[in-house]
């Protein structure tokens, strides 16, 4: 898996996945894209690429669009997206600077305000 992540780092996988996330037509497709982002986000190189490619902003927009709903799939998407944002925020000083410098100032506030969604029963789905 590590070698696959390294190979993907040479591509604009973050841009492609961000584009797909923005146009995901339903919760199932959104969930799959979020899971891929989460898995690939374990690579430091891809974390940096995600931060530079606007992934935190796309996740923030998605969270804002789903906020206030009660659909369990949407709540799980919020949980996965907020976990990924937290992972990027904790990704190291280089990643943190990229996120802060990209205009994602509200991202951390959104994650904190949505922390209650970490209690959703996504694992039961």
pTM score over 0.85: no
pLDDT reported for residue 82: 87
Owning domain of residue 63: 2-124
Describe the crossing of helices 2-9 and 44-52 by its angle, rounded to 10 degrees: 30
- As for how many domains the chain has, the answer is 1
Structure tokens at 48: 């940096």
DSSP, residue by residue, 14-70: HHHHHHHHHT--SHHHHHHHHHHHHHHTTSHHHHHHHHHTTHHHHHHHHHHHHTT--
Count of C-beta atoms within a 10 Å radius of residue 3: 7
Tens of pLDDT along the chain (125 residues)?
Answer: 677 767 777 788 888 999 999 998 888 999 999 999 988 888 888 888 888 888 888 998 999 888 888 888 888 888 899 888 888 877 655 444 555 554 444 555 555 444 444 444 455 45
Q: Give me the sign of the Cα torsion angle 105, 44, 11, 28.
A: negative
Question: In terms of Cα–Cα distance, which of 35, 23, 31, 38 is closest to 77?
Answer: 31
Task: Give 48-67 pLDDT, tens digit per residue.
Answer: 888 888 888 899 899 988 88
Count of C-beta atoms within a 10 Å radius of residue 120: 16
């Amino acid at each position: 898996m590590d070698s696959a992540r390294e190979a993907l780092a040479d591509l604009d996988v973050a841009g492609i996945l961000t584009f797909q996330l923005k146009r995901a037509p339903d919760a199932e497709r959104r969930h799959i894209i979020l899971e891929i982002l989460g898995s690939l986000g374990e690579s430091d190189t891809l974390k940096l690429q995600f931060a530079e490619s606007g992934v935190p902003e796309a996740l923030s927009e998605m969270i804002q669009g789903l906020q206030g709903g009660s659909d369990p799939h949407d709540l799980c998407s919020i949980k996965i997206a907020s976990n990924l944002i937290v992972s990027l925020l904790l990704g190291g000083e280089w990643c943190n600077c990229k996120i802060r410098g990209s205009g994602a100032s509200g991202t951390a506030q959104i994650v904190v305000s949505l922390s209650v969604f970490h209690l959703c029963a996504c694992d039961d789905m």
